[in-house]
Chains A and B, each alone.
Chain A
């Protein structure tokens, strides 16, 4: 083809590897709500859901309004006024309410009403007035978006071997993606620890995120190269570029084979200090990649997937089946099951719960806080986990622990569940270990007290960094400040390990930090017992552990702890690698 030129986009390398394939484009706001019947007694709730979505849309428009006002002036801002007026339009409200009263779900009601109005605009001859329908459509889409929790049409129509490109992928989207179908992920927003990145790593699929504008540049069917090592995406590559990447793909496959040879070797330093390397998983599908990675356990089994893409709460039986399957396959190695780490907002969005929308869900009613408020949800999960413990080695872990009181309260619930199971003569492991995830700075600070209440702890570095540094890791404006090497984080980790060892319990890290070979020597030197990483990173971390002596690692760690700034930390680490 003449005049073909590589178009290179630079983003964040979210999951390593190279993929060459065709784009499957997922629209940002193309909603196709389905019509559902609402039972009579839920009609008021449905209206509340609508009002909630309208208020959110209003807030969004107001923010846009303020921005336009600031940059272009009042006259332009009045155009944004139109959107706000559409939200309050009596026709809109009356007709949507009418449909809901007939037992139709809010999203479909909005879709239908907007569709009708838009149709009446279509017959207008004047171009200007006809185009006003776009304002109405935009407003409708926004409301539906909030109602659906921004779930898009699912990815069921994915064609084999495609590379998924989207503005953003929600957890529900990524959950819908079948492992074998997708070759790569590419998104406009997100960072190294965004959900897409975590899922892509879990599935060993190359991913580049944070590309800002890529979704507006591609179409389904375009040829694209994803370089998950460098964080680059190449659109319309020339045949030379394709050939180059194919060669690189072969080289990397070779390297991967080398690492695979490490599979059955111990994670042991040359001076005989042993650590454990475990794997993190998001759903049972990943178990095969764990088994082939050489991991000697699952250090973090995230259980959120059970709650996605459904209309009712998962039953105790579903919990049990999803856990026991993994536990059996991992046996005799342990599986650490983390109770669900969702916000009430997420469960409300998928319609499983109905709690007030929060301004700041990361600091809101989530994880064990939610479990304590709605123990019935939690109890079903605990029963499922306990029952699964009869089939292998299960450890239970609580997320988002912020103090000792919370731990005592959840343990009380656990004891109650155990007592009931005993009464029913259900088999479970009575000695099942219980641990806390340390990801809230308050828990890190009082780790000595927490360590007395649990059998193990695991540091969730992603959230610990986010909460300690006050960085929202999906906010593009501050994501560059997200830094695992911030001296405050390093000192926290050291403190957690030291105090836990004093109390005689082991420490794991299950955040992204543990899976980055660059940080491995420091964590090793801190005395970390267990690295829990995505299955793809298991061999690489093992390689690093087997190449550095524990004595040297301890020396590096001591030096690093004295640093007060990132630059000095970097100098020390880079000297190690030189």
Chain B
């Protein structure tokens, strides 16, 4: 099990389009991956979960991955957030 804390830095936050991109990314990997925001936990492969996080700009998200490609999925998520600018 690996984890990574990522701060949402784009202005609009994790709105529909970035949420879709995130879910599309996580679903490419076999590992289970969840997101914790404060004490609210959602499945990072669920678009509804990610949208329900309502993660605005500045929110700190804890990504926890568990599975055969846990390192890869976290790296992919990290680079996705880095590329997000709106």
Contact = CB atoms under 8 A, between A and B. Distances in A.
The bracket for how many chain B residues form the interface is: 20 to 34
A234 to B, nearest CB: 42
Nearest to B55: A129
A129 B43 contact: no
A529 B71 CA distance: 81
Interface in A217-268: none
Contact of B23 (A79, A85, A130): A85
A181 interface: no
A452 to B, nearest CB: 63
Contacts of A132: 16, 51-52
B16 A82 contact: yes
A408 interface: no
A121 B52 contact: yes
A411 to B, nearest CB: 56
Interface string B42-57: 0101111101101010
Contacts of A135: 16, 51
Nearest to A114: B48
A380 to B, nearest CB: 46
Contacts of B45: 90
Given A78-B20, A128-B15, A86 B48 contact: yes
Interface of B: 12-13, 15-17, 19-21, 23-24, 43, 45-49, 51-52, 54, 56
23 contacts: A78-B17, A78-B20, A79-B16, A81-B20, A81-B24, A82-B16, A82-B17, A82-B51, A85-B47, A86-B48, A89-B46, A89-B48, A89-B49, A90-B43, A90-B45, A117-B52, A129-B15, A129-B51, A129-B54, A129-B56, A132-B16, A132-B52, A135-B16
Closest 4 CB pairs of A and B: A129-B54, A85-B47, A132-B51, A124-B54
Interface of A: 75, 78-79, 81-82, 85-86, 89-92, 117, 120-121, 124-126, 128-130, 132, 135-136
Given A92-B46, A120-B52, A126-B56, 16 more contacts: A75-B17, A81-B17, A81-B20, A82-B19, A82-B51, A85-B47, A89-B48, A89-B49, A91-B43, A92-B48, A129-B13, A129-B51, A129-B52, A132-B52, A135-B16, A136-B48
